[in-house]
Amino acid sequence: MIDDYLHELRRELHAVGIRGPLRRRILAEAGDHLRSDADALDRFGVPQEVANVFAAELGTQASRRAAVGAFAALGIAGAVYAAAFVGLAFAGQPYDYPALGALAFAVIVIAPQVAFVSGSLALLRAWRHRRDPVRPSAELAVINRRTSVALLAGLATMGALALFDFELQARLAAWWVTFTFGSTAAASVLLVLAAVPAAGAARLRPQVAGAAGDVFDDLGLSRGSPWRLARRVALIVALVVWLAGLVASDPIDGALRGLFEAAACLGGFALLGRFLGLRQ
C-alpha cells in the first residue's frame, strides 16, 4: 500500500512540475513518515491533492524569488546600459548608421523600457503579496510571464548594444568599444543566470483558484478602465519628455519625442497588456 501510494505521488509530483532532487526529497520524507506511523496513510490525503499543495507553496515562493532575482540582474544591466549610453556622447557618436546599426539603436531605445516596466510590475505584484504562502495559479502565471519578458528584453538590450558596438567600432573611441563589449557580456551572463530560477518557477503548475488581477491590483487603485489609465500614463510620459525638451531649449524635438514615447506606451499596452496581466 505504501509503495503504491508513493508511486502515485511520484507521478502527481511530476505532473505539477516538481522533479529532480526536490521530488526525491519529498518522496523520501513521505516514505519515512508513512513507514513510521501506521495511521499516517489515512491522514496523508489523495496524492493529487498532496502534490498540488507542494506545488502551490513552492510555486509561490519560486515566482517571488525569480522576480526579485530578475530585477537585481536587470538593475546591473540597466547600469551598464546607462554608462554605455552616456559614454556614447563622449566616444564620437555618429548620426548616420548602417542598416544593422540603425536596427540595433532602435532596439536599444525600446527594449530597455519593456524590460523596466515588465520587471518592475513582476516585482511589485510579488512584493504586494509577499506574506501570502499561496497565491492563485493565474496570478503566478502573470508574475512568471512578466519576469520572462523582462529578462528577454534585457538580453535584447545587451545584444543590441553589442551589435551597435560591432557595427560602428571603427568610428567610435576604442575605450567605449572595449567597455561595451566587456560589460554587455558580463551583464548578459547575469541575466541568463537569473533566467534559471525563472524557468524553474514557470515549470511548476499548481491548481489554485483565483483571478490573475490587472494593473489596478498592481497599483492598489480602485478598479476602473485599464485603457483610460493607459491613456493618462501615456499623456504624463509625453508631457515629461516635452518638458525635458523645454529645459534643453529644444521644444519641437521634445514634443516629437514625447509623442513617440506616448505612442510607444499605448502600443506596448495594446500588444503586451493582456499577456502581462495589465488588462483582462
CB 144 within 8 A of CB 198: yes
Mean pLDDT estimate for the chain: 90
| Cell reading at 100 | 544593422
Question: What is the mean pLDDT of the segment spanning 30-59?
Answer: 83
23-43: per-residue pLDDT in tens? 999 888 888 887 887 676 667
Measure CA of the first residue to CA of the last residue in the chain; give whole Å.
46
155-202: per-residue pLDDT in tens? 999 999 999 989 888 888 899 999 999 999 999 999 999 999 999 999
**H or E segment to which residue 148 belongs:** helix 137-167
Question: What is the mean pLDDT of the segment spanning 249-254?
Answer: 82
The yes-or-no verdict on residue 218 having pLDDT over 70 is yes
Residues 6 or more apart from 187 whose CB is under 8 A from it?
A: 73, 76, 77, 80, 154, 158
Q: Give the angle subtended at the CA of 26 by the CAs of 21 and 30, to the nearest 5°.
A: 145
CB 108 within 8 A of CB 162: no
Say what percent of the chain tops pLDDT 70.
98
- Does the CA dihedral 56-62-64-66 come out positive or negative? negative
The number of helices, as runs of H, and strands, as runs of E, in the chain is 10, 0
Distance CA 220, CA 136 (A): 17
Q: What is the pLDDT of residue 38?
A: 66
The three-state secondary structure class of 132 is coil
Question: What is the mean pLDDT of the segment spanning 59-78?
Answer: 96
Distance CA 143, CA 151 (A): 12
Q: What is the pLDDT of residue 113?
A: 92
Instruction: Count other C-beta atoms under 10 Å from residue 83's C-beta.
Output: 14
pTM: 0.89
Question: What is the mean pLDDT of the segment spanning 260-277?
Answer: 91
The yes-or-no verdict on residue 93 having pLDDT over 80 is no
Domain 62-212 has CATH 1.20.120: yes
Distance CA 113, CA 176 (A): 23
Q: What is the pLDDT of residue 92?
A: 80
The residue with cell 556622447 is 89
Altogether, the residues listed in the chain come to a count of 280
102-120: per-residue pLDDT in tens? 899 889 989 999 999 999 9
Q: Taking the domains of the chain in order of start, what are their residue ranges?
A: 2-45, 62-212, 213-280
Among 21-30, 60-69, 241-250, which stretch is predicted with the lowest mean pLDDT? 241-250
